[in-house]
């Protein structure tokens, strides 16, 4: 027991000593020692500590040959620590301050990735999504031959566009759920007018036809014939594009019912 207690006490003292050494180093002006320790912490994946050290020496190395390296690894440490908000700020300032640095292409990409990670699910505000897409598209235009980062950029754009498509599609489907079938059809048609390549195009066309059908079905008798013709147009439009759709059976059944009247 006594031996175990001694070991525990020695371990505790060692931890306190290490912490004190780190804090002393953090407050010191010894650039070489801070730089080495920061790189060691970064290599050991202790990113919060490396970020603090790089931040603490940023003023000390300003204007020196280490300036861009310190600034870049400060941002990269925050990025690896998953502090994407701070990292995005780091990388934005880096790109502005060091346009010719060898770290700049990676800094530009990491900034985009930070913006991407700050976007929201499709149900929420999509303004950050649009801002991120604009930034990515600008990067793609400026770096058309970047084989390293372009695939990731394209994947991010695909995911972000899918969120916008889902947002628009679900807005139209919400009217359908509320049984406001006229508004549902108008909204769903506008979805494809705005973006004919919407990834939910099949679903949009299906609910457009269904909205037409129910709107006609619930209309006064004098209006039904005319409004079922609209459904017929929507039905024919759907099957011409998606003849093998899993929605086909239901729409065929409704179409037969309409033509039997």
Residue 253 burial (CB count, 10 A):
10
Does 5 have pLDDT greater than 80? no
Considering only 1-15, 111-125, 184-198, 218-232, which range has the smallest mean pLDDT? 1-15
With cut-offs at 50, 70 and 90, classify the pLDDT of residue 260.
Answer: confident
Neighbouring residues of 225: CB distance < 8 A, sequence distance ≥ 6: none
Residue that has been written with the tokens 């909204």 in this structure? 187
More confident residue, 16 or 189: 189
Q: What angle do CA 222, 226, 231 make, to 5 degrees?
A: 130
CA pair distance 196, 141, nearest whole angstrom: 23
Confidence of residue 152 (pLDDT cuts 50, 70, 90): very high
Query: Can you tell me which residue has the tokens 């919060």?
Result: 48
Quote the pLDDT of residue 42: 97
DSSP string, 44-113: TT-HHHHHHHHHHHTTTTTTSTTHHHHHHHHHHHHHHTT-HHHHHHHHHHHHHH-TTSTTHHHHHHHHHH
Write the pLDDT tens digit of every residue in 89-118: 999 999 999 999 999 999 999 999 999 999
Two structure tokens written together for 64: 């020196």
Domains of the chain from N-terminus onward = 23-98 (1.25.40.10)
Tokens, residue 213: 């059908």
Average pLDDT across the chain, whole number = 93
36-50: pLDDT as tens digits: 999 999 999 999 999
The pLDDT value recorded for residue 6 is: 47
Would the CA dihedral through 224, 225, 226, 227 be positive or negative? positive
Taking only the tens place, the pLDDT of each residue in 160-180 is: 999 999 999 999 999 999 999
pTM (2 d.p.): 0.82
Which residue in 213, 168, 173 sits closest to 191, CA to CA? 168
- 68-81 confidence digits (pLDDT tens): 999 999 999 999 99
Please count the helices (runs of H) and the strands (runs of E) in the chain.
12, 0
């Amino acid at each position: 027991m006594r031996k175990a207690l001694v070991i525990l006490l020695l371990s505790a003292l060692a931890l306190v000593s290490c912490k004190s050494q780190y804090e002393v180093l953090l407050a010191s002006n010894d650039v070489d020692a801070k730089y080495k320790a920061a790189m060691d912490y970064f290599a050991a994946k202790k990113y919060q500590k490396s970020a603090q050290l790089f931040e603490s020496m940023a003023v000390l190395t300003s204007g020196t040959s280490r300036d861009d390296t310190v600034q870049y690894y400060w941002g990269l440490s925050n990025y690896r620590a998953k502090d994407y908000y701070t990292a995005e700020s780091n990388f934005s300032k880096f790109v502005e301050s060091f346009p010719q640095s060898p770290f700049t292409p990676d800094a530009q990409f990491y900034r985009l990735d930070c913006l991407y990670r700050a976007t929201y699910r499709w149900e929420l505000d999509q303004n950050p999504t649009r801002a991120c897409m604009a930034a990515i598209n600008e990067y793609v235009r400026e770096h058309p031959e970047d084989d390293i980062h372009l695939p990731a950029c394209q994947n991010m754009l695909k995911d972000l566009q899918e969120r916008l498509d889902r947002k628009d599609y679900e807005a139209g489907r919400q009217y359908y759920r509320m049984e406001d079938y006229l508004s549902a059809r108008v909204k769903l048609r506008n979805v494809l007018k705005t973006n004919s390549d919407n990834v939910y195009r099949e679903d949009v066309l299906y609910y457009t036809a269904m909205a037409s059908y129910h709107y006609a079905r619930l209309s006064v008798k004098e209006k039904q014939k005319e409004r079922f013709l609209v459904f017929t147009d929507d039905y024919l439009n759907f099957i011409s594009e998606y003849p093998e759709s899993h929605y086909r059976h239901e729409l065929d059944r409704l179409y037969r019912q309409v033509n039997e009247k």
